[in-house]
C-alpha cells in the first residue's frame, strides 16, 4: 500500500504576515476605495435637485445605449465581412466547379468505357447463344411443316 504524505501543520509566521499585508493592500484597500467612491456619487446624486435628476437619467441612458451600439456595430461588421467574403467566393466558384465537372465527366466516360469493355465478351456469348437458340427453334419449326 502507498503511504499518505504527512500534511504540514506548521504555519510559517513570515509568510502569514506577508499574506495579511497583501490582503490589506491588494484586496481590502482597493475595494474600500471603490465602495467609498460609489457611495459618494450616490449621495451627491441623491442630494441633487429635481433639475439634475433628469440630467443624470439622460447620462445613464447614454451609457446604457453606448454598450448596445458597440455590440450592434461589431455584429454589423461581422455581417459585412461575411457578405464581402461570399461575394469573393461566388466569383471563384464557377472556375473550380467547371474543373470539377470536367473531372467527373472524364471519370464517367472512363467508367462507362471500362464497364462496356468488361461486359462485351459476356454480351457476345449471350448474343451468339440467343442467335443459335432462335436458329435451332426455326429449324425445328421448319422441319415439322
pLDDT in tens, the chain (145 residues): 567 666 666 778 888 888 888 888 888 999 999 999 988 888 877 776 656 677 778 888 998 999 999 999 999 999 999 999 999 999 888 888 899 999 999 999 999 999 988 888 888 898 899 889 998 888 888 877 6
At 50 the pLDDT is 58
At 42 the pLDDT is 80
At 83 the pLDDT is 95
Alpha-carbon separation of residue 114 from 11, 99, 125 (angstroms): 85, 23, 18
CB 112 within 8 A of CB 104: no
Other C-beta atoms within 10 Å of 95: how many? Answer: 9
Q: Nine-digit cell at 143?
A: 422441319
At 7 the pLDDT is 64
Handedness of CA 109, 112, 117, 120 (dihedral sign): negative
Question: What letter does residue 49 receive in the DSSP assignment?
Answer: -
At 18 the pLDDT is 87
What are the start-end ranges of the H helices in 2-49?
13-23, 29-47
Domain ranges for the chain, please list them: 48-144
Amino acid at each position: 500500500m502507498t503511504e499518505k504524505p504527512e500534511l504540514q501543520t506548521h504555519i510559517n509566521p513570515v509568510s502569514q504576515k506577508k499574506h495579511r499585508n497583501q490582503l490589506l493592500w491588494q484586496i481590502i484597500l482597493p475595494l474600500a476605495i471603490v465602495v467609498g467612491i460609489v457611495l459618494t456619487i450616490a449621495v451627491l446624486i441623491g442630494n441633487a435637485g429635481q433639475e439634475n435628476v433628469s440630467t443624470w437619467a439622460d447620462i445613464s441612458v447614454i451609457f446604457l445605449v453606448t454598450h448596445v451600439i458597440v455590440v450592434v456595430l461589431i455584429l454589423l461588421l461581422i455581417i459585412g465581412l461575411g457578405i464581402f467574403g461570399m461575394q469573393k467566393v461566388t466569383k471563384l466558384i464557377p472556375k473550380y466547379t467547371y474543373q470539377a465537372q470536367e473531372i467527373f465527366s472524364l471519370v464517367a466516360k472512363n467508367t462507362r468505357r471500362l464497364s462496356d469493355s468488361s461486359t462485351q465478351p459476356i454480351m457476345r456469348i449471350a448474343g451468339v447463344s440467343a442467335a443459335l437458340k432462335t436458329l435451332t427453334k426455326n429449324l425445328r419449326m421448319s422441319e415439322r411443316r
